[in-house]
Structure 1
Amino acid sequence: MKSQTAIKLFAVGLVAAGVTAVDVKPSVAGMFDGVEVRVASFGGKWRKLIESTVGEAFAKEGGKMVYVAGSPSPNFAKLIAARGSEPPFDLMETTDDFLPPLMAKGMLDEIDYSKVPNESALPSQNKTKHGVLTWVTQSSIIYNTEKFKEHGIPVPQKYADLKHPKLQGKISIPDIAGGGVMPCLVGMALEGGGSETNIQPALDLIASLDVKAFWKGNSGLRTLLKSGDVWAACAGVHTMGRLLGVAPLWATHVEVKPGIHGVLKQGWLVKIKGGKNDAARDWIVNHFISKAHQEGVMKGWLLSSRSDVLADYASRDGMDFMRLKPDEVKNMYSIDFSKVDRAAYTEQWNRKVGAGS
């Protein structure tokens, strides 16, 4: 009885700490019997996808994935706090903005691609010695087709088109504190002749708009689009995908530079330096870029990192609100986060856009 009570208390402690083991039964025998790998990634439906496509397969080999829930920012903070001791997890799913500081601080191990056969399905730009691309979204202008037609508003071709008089009070822009702000902010800056080191054109444009809401979370933005309170928003195309058949929406990809349409936001899986069970980590990396997992990524309206999965979806009707063909994906802008100064951006935003956000 005491041992059962201890087990229950231990499980409660893990949940309270944001650490949960994938709830699948391990097989009796496999190449990773008794091996535990801690994976830091997002929660909710994303966790369920990982469990179904990666966790269950790992369990069949006798292993156990321990899930450390959290967004990249708090997980990065956990790594900083653990410097000099064992890292809090072995693998981390992060976003492109955290790659430069992770590398600069020497927090990443190299991937042994001889143990990752699925890497052959990735374009060269979707893999580095420290990580693999696991998902992508494309920043766009999402607009209400019915409202635009009803009020005679032209389909937006550039961010400056949001200045249309009939759109004022009906626009949503990501907040400077939100996770979706960088692609929109940099895209607006590029269109206005700026760059990662000069976002003033973007701030000038935003300050000139009558913004209905500065969104911080995607669910809140979807509510505004669904209700019709917002007619146009700067957001990733996955936002529109999740409202297909629910609201009359479409997306347009702004030509931010000549021949370059839209800005990417990317998710990467990296190996944390000092992490345990290297062979198991490479095995899990391989399954994150498996066809099964990447098809699950597409079902959530994010873009796969695999060329074959993108090609399959590009051939389907009604998918052209996303840029899926190889040349289309290639001709999108990837932010150079080594040049991004988020603190400076925030200070400039507060001066120019002010308390309206």
Structure 2
Amino acid sequence: MKILSSLILTLGLAVAVPASHAQSTPASPKPATLRVASAGGAFTQLHQKYAAALFTQRTGIKVEFIDANASDHLAKLIAAKGRDVPYDVVYLDKDVQEGAIDTGVLQKLDPAKIPNLKHIVGPALDKDGYGPELHVISIGIAYNAAKFKAAGIAPPTSWNDLWNPQLAGKVSVPELTHLAGRALLLQASRLEGGNEATPEKGIARIAKIKAHDYYNSTVQVENLFQSGEIWAAPMSSGRAWGVSTRYPDLQFVDPKEGGVAAPYTIDIVKGTKYPDAAAAYIDTVLAPLPQLGQATELFFSPTNDLIIPLVAKDPQIAPKLSDINKLIQPDWRLFMKHYDKAVALWNRQVAR
């Protein structure tokens, strides 16, 4: 951690002064406030600390974060088509971004206005020119190691372990509105020989979990872990490791079948009156300091090639970061084509 502490100080000093046109004040029209659709909680707090504050210092533009889950943000963008858009910039789960692209609510990026794009590794770039993945985490299984040990249950190693009869009433299942829920659906389908196009197989399998509850907020499941009410749940690696710093009994594992890549993207909203300001904000987010902050405080794997080799040297941080090249990369566009069917099946068979 000492390695990264010194790097944060160095980078903080380095970015305190605008160094090039990459961080110059955006062209007019210049808004008083840039509206950014975000995920809330620790994520928004981190981006306020490492990106928004710096952006405001450099441009004089305030940043207003509007927090909700990615699916709700997309619904608002679709509802606003043909009218004034509710946001200028939007953070989205990768699968939701695919839906946003298909519905035409996002604007392609101009690399000339976002110089830090050249430092984003290839697998994290959108092939069609939309927003990149600003970090990568894995959806796997979080579990209470102390409860497992006391009950004589072996630590989970497979997605199949969520159906262990010894965990009846102790598993929190994520709703489909949550990325962890969509990842679970995909993996449940695969356990039944299916894929992104066969949600019926996964829904039938998930319906057999003896669930304690169904969650749509990561804060909700974090609280259930800390109260001891649940012992296991599909969850993101970053959030699980973050909770473990306060609650050491919580551990995380990528199942042997594979953890599901859960990248978060950042885009300019199509129809914003302030595309230059939006591009300048995205460039700030992709810069080294915010990328390093994500890794050190939230255990989100960076996608900036200047930072990836640095965090790999830290013995406390590196083991908790996901390798984008080792995770399952779903065909989210195919998955989303069957999403309405999945929701209907979920409402009939699971959320009863």
TM-score range, shorter chain: 0.7 to 0.9
- Distance in 2 (CA, whole Å) between partners of 1:319 and 1:234 is 21
Q: Which whole-Å deviations, capped at 9, do the CAs of 1:41-86 have from their partners, x for residues lacking one? A: 2334433333332333333334313425032333333333332244
Paired AA for residue 106 in structure 1: G
Q: Which residue of 1 aligns with 2:15?
A: none
**Which residue number in structure 1 is paired with residue 343 of structure 2?**
346
Q: Over alpha carbons, which structure has the higher Rg?
A: 1
30, 52, 58: which one pairs with 2:55?
A: 58
- Give 1:91 deviation, angstroms: 1.8
Choose the corresponding residue for 2:303, options 302, 305, 312. Answer: 305
Residue 174 of structure 1 deviates from its aligned partner by 1.0
CA distance in 1, matches of 2:189, 2:327: 15
Paired letter, 1:251: F
Moved over 6 A (4+): none
Shift in Å at residue 177 of structure 1? 4.3
Cα 1:94–1:176 shift into 2, 3 Å: closer
The 3-state SS of whatever aligns with 1:194 is coil
Measured in 2, the distance between the counterparts of 1:188 and 1:62 equals 47
The amino acid across from 2:125 in the alignment is K
Q: Name the counterpart of 2:330.
A: 335
> C-alpha distance in 1, partners of 2:226/2:190?
29
Tell me what 1:213 maps to.
213
Separation (CA, whole Å) in 1 of partners of 2:250 and 2:87: 40
Identical-pair percentage: 23
Q: Which residue of 1 aligns with 2:314?
A: 316
Deviations 1:177-219 (A, max 9, x none): 4453111211222233211111344334323332222222111
Deviations 1:75-115 (A, max 9, x none): 33333333224433322222223223322233222212123
Query: Does the 8 Å CA contact 1:32/1:63 hold for their aligned counterparts?
Result: no
Question: How many pairs were matched up?
Answer: 320
Query: For the structure 1 residues 279 and 214, does the alpha-carbon distance in structure 2 shift closer, same or farther, using more than 3 Å as the test?
Result: closer
In 1, distance between residues paired with 2:181 and 2:82?
Answer: 33
Q: 1:91 to 1:226 in 2, by over 3 A?
A: same
Q: Which amino acid aligns with 1:194?
A: G
Q: Counterpart of 1:302 in structure 2: which amino acid?
A: F
The residue that corresponds to 2:184 in the other structure is 184
**Which structure 1 residue ranges, 5 or more long, are not aligned?**
1-26
Q: 1:226, 1:247 within 8 Å by CA — same for their partners in 2?
A: no
| Larger relative contact order (Cα-Cα within 8 Å, sequence gap ≥ 6) | 2
CA distance in 1, matches of 2:178, 2:275: 34
Name the structure 1 match of 2:262: 265
| Paired letter, 2:121 | P
TM-score between both structures, scaled by the size of structure 2: 0.81
Aligned to 1:73: 71
Q: Are 1:241 and 1:301, in contact at CA under 8 Å, matched by a contact in 2?
A: yes
Distance in 2, Cα, partners of 1:220 & 1:175: 12
Aligned pair in 2 of structure 1 residues 322, 196: CA closer, same or farther (>3 Å)?
farther
Map 1:1-357 to 2 at 5 A: 31-32=25-26, 35-36=30-31, 37-71=34-68, 72-128=70-126, 129-245=129-245, 246-256=247-257, 261-298=258-295, 299-319=297-317, 322-324=320-322, 328-339=323-334, 340=336, 341-355=338-352
